[in-house]
Amino acid sequence: MAFGKESFKRMFPNLVKEMELDENKVGINSVRTDAERAKKASSRKFASYDPDVIDFVRRCDTSAQAEEIIAYMEKRGEIDKQYAAKLRKQLKTSGVRSFGSKKEDDYYLKHGET
């Protein structure tokens, strides 16, 4: 489908306005010519992922370890008291595996590629 500048402006006036404002630019800082390498680099599942308390609890072997993680994150202010209490209740009633299967060593490296 081909059309001219004026048709484009009539069809997408807000888009044209945004483009002309010259804001919200995204820089390109690299180019990859190997398609397979580019695919791997751009499809990292956990790129910029910040693990939460559940991720850390899932690495624990015992309820005592999980409690230590919950207390530490609560003390640092990364989770609030109500959420910590909810996690402790689940830990006490259902156990550490109720948060999910144990995350093995190098979990993010092994599962990072999609």
Q: Assess if residue 65 is contained within a domain.
A: yes
Q: Per the domain annotation, does 25 fall within a domain? A: no
pTM over 0.85, yes/no:
no
Q: Is 105 within the bounds of a domain?
A: yes
Domain annotation covers residue 40: no
pLDDT tens series, the chain, 114 aa: 677 888 888 888 888 888 888 766 666 555 566 666 655 555 455 555 677 898 889 889 999 999 999 999 999 999 999 999 999 999 999 999 998 888 877 665 566 654
**Structure confidence at residue 36 (pLDDT):** 67
Range of the domain at 97: 53-111
97 occurs within a structural domain: yes
67 found inside a domain: yes
Domain count, the chain: 1
Question: In whole angstroms, what is the distance from residue 92 CA to residue 73 CA?
Answer: 18
- Residue 91 CA: distances (Å) to CA of 9, 40, 51, 98: 58, 37, 19, 7
Looking at this protein, which amino acid is placed at residue 70? I
